[in-house]
Amino acid sequence: MNEFPVVLVINCGSSSIKFSVLDVATCDVLMAGIADGMNTENAFLSINGDKPINLSHSNYEDALKAIAFELEKRDLTDSVALIGHRIAHGGELFTQSVIITDEIIDNIRRVSPLAPLHNYANLSGIDAARHLFPAVRQVAVFDTSFHQTLAPEAYLYGLPWEYFSSLGVRRYGFHGTSHRYVSRRAYELLDLGEKISGLIVAHLGNGASICAVRNGQSVDTSMGMTPLEGLMMGTRSGVGAFGAMAWSAQDAGPPVSDLERGGRSASGSRG
């Protein structure tokens, strides 16, 4: 058994599980990997970039069992003191990270229609981890919570009021965990005071967003109600496509589901 406690961090996506094991004292990464291709014959598990392990037709619990086995092989299982789950969308219910309970799971499920592709996968990961590690405390970290400090003038769209009051249509923002970490590290490395400094933070990858941070809090961000908005990205349309997509849906145009899929996976640089 490793004498030092470790944290298992899990990010369950729509078809993959990314994970890391970190030493609590040093934050050193002791183990990291990905289980990809969930529920397909090509599913695999890769640890620290080593040769992939076949996980054909594995679901989330099967994949987490395989990850737990790899932890056991490295004498890390009994050292897991905490499991952290990245949750894509917390809606307006979650303004900070929370310890996972049955009530928290119910509330995550309530807001999951806002991000069905990701949140339901996140919940599958939570269910599997609670089953495999029943004695370990687990925490949900929300990608949207950092942006819950936005003022109404930043999170409201220029749409009829009832869209917000009845449907909850508003800017939520994403990549919050990244923006929070980068802004705090910038304050530290540049020796800036949070109370007197403003920052523009960029999260750049296949998905990309920018965030304005003042006094250590998010005050504006490029992504909106969904991660499709804002900057043009690898496969996402970004801002400015609403009118074109609405026009495309007229008459015998493609259904809204096809337009959404196109804006999410066939637009941006790929388009």
CA atoms within 13 A on the CB side of 158: 0
Q: Is residue 267 part of a domain?
A: no
Residue 220 lies in a domain: no
CATH label of the domain that carries residue 99: 3.30.420.40
Contact call for residues 210 and 221 (beta carbons, < 8 A): yes
Domain that holds residue 82: 6-142
Burial of 231 per CB tally in 10 Å (0-12, 13-18, 19+): middle
Rounded Cα–Cα distance for residues 128 and 38 (Å): 14
pLDDT at 8: 98
The closest of 80, 93, 78 to 20, measured between CA atoms, is 80
Q: Which residues are CB-neighbours of 81 under 8 A, at least 6 positions away?
A: 5, 6, 7, 24, 136, 137
Does residue 168 sit within a domain?
no
What span, in angstroms and rounded, lies between the C-alpha atoms of 66 and 44? 10
**Residue 241, pLDDT score:** 58
Is 233 contained in some domain? no
Strands 217-221 and 209-214: antiparallel
Q: How many domains does the chain have?
A: 1
Is residue 195 one of the residues assigned to a domain? Answer: no
- Selecting among 36, 62, 143, 220, the annotated active-site residue is 143
The strands making up 6-12's β-sheet, listed across from edge to edge, are 53-54, 44-47, 29-36, 16-23, 6-12, 80-87, 137-142, 98-99
- Whether residue 224 is contained in a domain is answered as no
Averaged over successive runs of 10 residues, the pLDDT of the chain (271 residues) comes to 83 93 95 94 93 91 94 94 97 96 98 90 95 96 97 95 92 96 93 83 93 96 89 76 65 68 68 61
pLDDT value for 242: 62
Identify which of 212, 71, 215, 205 has the alpha carbon closest to the alpha carbon of residue 132.
71
pLDDT, residue 243, reads: 64
Residue 57 lies in a domain: yes
At 255 the pLDDT is 74
Q: What angle do CA 265, 211, 141 make, to 5 degrees?
A: 75
Judge whether 64 and 17 are in contact, CB under 8 Å. yes
Residues in the chain: 271
Within a domain: 87 = yes
Active site residue 251: no
